[in-house]
């Protein structure tokens, strides 16, 4: 069986590095992307990180830690422009390129590795090609599976290259802190620590069945990763036609205000997925299913495409207000569709680059995203959602190829 060669390419301090690239006077200085007393740090250069500045940190705190820092607003259309250059560059090495975010991607080199030599060779070739195309440094991890490639790319940042050969996987994992494994958050880490698990290798002290009993379906997945098993393929991006979220309630809901709170929660979920995928949509669809299982949908076309939580919610709320609640509802959902061309999606990101999209709500949404990415989904919530929860039966959502709500 042919050994897999999966590469994870991760740009170093991407937003801040772009600012230093475009303004040579910033090179070697602590650059922090994020402004305003109520803002949040989007990115920090390595010079700023030396002072303890991190992404998702309040700008006020960053100023205290690094008073000599250079604080700049984000230029998201520029970041997206260079992201497209990055993805095109990686596509020269393999047709199997999976963008993971604006500044990172997976590349499956299994079928084309022999064209470029061994992992060290094509890893270095990628680094040189990315620097030549963008003017920016990246860190590269090469491993037989995706999650290990991502871990490896973080090992020698910045401007690093780490290769984990197939025969070295068990040794590599034996001493790897267990929290480095994707899916191991604070709660899981604390639960594992009580069982004496500090490294991925410690998981192998007990059999797979033990972890299934302890951690449910997550247990066997974790055990497999400790063995270096991850069948996840590198997937080409598929066209997304809609993104939606819906909830079926444990008890039917008659209150219009209660349904509106659910719509706000769902609008946040949909908006976050839109921003992760660099999408802007013009059509908001409301789905309502009554207690007798009869279902209606209503749609509203916005004057300009959006990825803002508040804009999605306001449109969904307006649709809800026009629907009679003659009987209780058992399900409500919201979806966004009508996406523009790829270039437009990526260029209409922020402020001056997206004049039709209100700047302040977009900054707020981006700040909330950054905090949740770093500290978890429950780390921050809007005031209208305090105390929210409780009556749902299940969450559902899609970012698939069907129409809105499909």
Are the folds of 14-76 and 170-227 the same? no
Contact 19, 12 (CB under 8 A): no
Where do we find the tokens 């698939």?
400
Catalytically active residues, by annotation: 104
**Residue 404 has what pLDDT?**
32
**Residue 384 has what pLDDT?**
57
If you count them, how many residues does the chain have? Answer: 406
What are φ and ψ of residue 52, in 5° steps? 95, 5
**Residue 11 has what pLDDT?**
97
**Residue 158 has what pLDDT?**
94
How far apart are alpha carbons 176 and 233 in whole angstroms?
A: 23
Which residues are part of a known binding site for Mg(2+)? 10, 103
The CATH number of domain 14-76, selected from 3.40.190.10, 3.40.1170.60, 3.40.50.1820, 3.90.79.10: 3.40.1170.60
The CATH number of domain 170-227, selected from 3.40.50.2300, 1.10.167.10, 1.10.150.20, 3.30.360.10: 1.10.150.20
Q: Would you state the torsion angle of the CA atoms of residues 271, 276, 282, 286, taken in this order, to the nearest 10 degrees?
A: -40
Beta bridge partners of 141: 8, 162
**Residue 316 has what pLDDT?**
96
**Residue 389 has what pLDDT?**
54
Beta bridge partners of 98: 106
Mean pLDDT by runs of 10 across the 406 residues of the chain is 87 97 97 86 96 92 96 91 93 91 93 85 96 97 96 94 94 93 86 92 93 89 93 78 88 92 92 84 93 90 90 95 91 89 37 45 69 66 53 49 33
- Write out the two tokens for 389: 């929860």
Q: What is the CA radius of gyration of the chain?
A: 23
Overall pTM > 0.95: no
- Cβ neighbours for 328, distance < 8 A, ≥ 6 positions apart: 252, 253, 254, 290, 291
How far apart are alpha carbons 298 and 293 in whole angstroms?
A: 16
Please spell the DSSP secondary structure of 294-323, one letter per residue: -EEEEEEEEEEEE--HHHHHHHHHHHHHTS
- Cβ neighbours for 242, distance < 8 A, ≥ 6 positions apart: 285, 335, 336, 337, 398, 399, 400, 402, 403, 404, 405, 406
**Residue 351 has what pLDDT?**
40
**Residue 253 has what pLDDT?**
92
Instruction: Report pLDDT digits (tens) over 352-400.
Output: 334 444 555 666 676 777 776 766 666 566 655 544 554 444 455 555 4
How far apart are alpha carbons 284 and 314 in whole angstroms?
A: 10
**Residue 63 has what pLDDT?**
96
Burial call 284-311: b when 16+ CB within 10 Å, e when fewer: bbbbbbbeeeeeebebeebeebbbbbbb
Domains of the chain, residue spans: 14-76, 170-227, 242-346+353-382
Instruction: Report pLDDT digits (tens) over 66-106.
Output: 999 999 998 988 998 999 999 999 999 998 999 988 899 99
Q: Is 108 exposed, middle or buried (0-12, 13-18, 19+ CB in 10 A)?
A: buried
How far apart are alpha carbons 23 and 292 in whole angstroms?
A: 62
DSSP for residue 236: P
What totals of helices (H) and strands (E) does the chain contain, helices first? 15, 13
If DSSP codes are grouped into helix, strand and coil, which group holds residue 243? strand
Q: How many CB atoms lie within 10 A of CB 104?
A: 19
> Into which CATH architecture does domain 242-346+353-382 fall?
2-Layer Sandwich (3.30)
How far apart are alpha carbons 179 and 190 in whole angstroms?
A: 10
If DSSP codes are grouped into helix, strand and coil, which group holds residue 141? strand
If DSSP codes are grouped into helix, strand and coil, which group holds residue 70? strand
């Amino acid at each position: 069986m042919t050994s897999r060669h999966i590469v994870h390419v991760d740009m170093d301090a991407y937003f801040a590095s772009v600012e230093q690239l475009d303004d040579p006077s910033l090179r070697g200085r602590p650059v922090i992307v994020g402004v305003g007393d109520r803002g949040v740090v989007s990115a920090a250069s390595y010079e700023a990180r030396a002072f303890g500045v991190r992404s998702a940190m309040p700008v006020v705190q960053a100023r205290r830690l690094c008073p000599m820092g250079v604080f700049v607003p984000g230029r998201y259309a520029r970041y997206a422009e260079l992201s497209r250059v990055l993805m095109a560059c990686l596509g020269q090495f393999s047709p199997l390129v999976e963008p993971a975010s604006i500044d990172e991607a997976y590349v499956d080199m299994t079928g084309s590795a022999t064209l470029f030599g061994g992992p060290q060779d094509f890893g270095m070739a990628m680094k040189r090609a990315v620097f030549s195309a963008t003017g920016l440094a990246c860190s590269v991890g090469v491993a037989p599976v995706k999650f290990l490639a991502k871990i490896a790319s973080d090992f020698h940042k910045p401007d690093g290259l780490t290769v984990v050969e197939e025969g070295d996987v068990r040794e590599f994992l034996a001493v790897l802190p267990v929290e480095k494994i994707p899916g191991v958050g604070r709660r899981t880490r604390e639960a594992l620590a009580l069982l004496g698990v500090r490294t991925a290798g410690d998981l192998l002290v007990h059999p797979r069945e033990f972890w299934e009993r302890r951690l449910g379906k997550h247990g066997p997945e974790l055990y497999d990763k400790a063995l270096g098993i991850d069948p996840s393929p590198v997937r080409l991006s598929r066209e997304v036609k809609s993104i939606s979220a819906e909830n079926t309630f444990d008890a039917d809901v008659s209150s219009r205000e209660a349904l509106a709170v659910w719509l706000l929660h769902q609008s946040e979920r949909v908006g976050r997925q839109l921003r992760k995928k660099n999408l802007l949509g013009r059509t908001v669809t409301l789905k309502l299913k009554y207690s007798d299982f009869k279902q209606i949908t209503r749609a509203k076309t916005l004057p300009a495409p959006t990825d803002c939580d508040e804009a999605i919610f306001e449109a969904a709320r307006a649709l809800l207000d026009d629907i009679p609640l003659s009987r209780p509802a058992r399900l409500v959902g919201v979806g966004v569709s009508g996406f523009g061309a790829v270039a437009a999606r990526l260029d209409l990101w922020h402020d001056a680059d997206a004049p039709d999209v209100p700047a302040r709500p977009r900054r707020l949404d981006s700040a909330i995203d950054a905090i949740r990415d770093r500290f978890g989904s429950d780390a921050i919530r809007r005031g209208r959602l305090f105390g929210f929860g409780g009556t749902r039966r299940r969450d559902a959502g899609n970012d698939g190829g069907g129409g809105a709500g499909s």
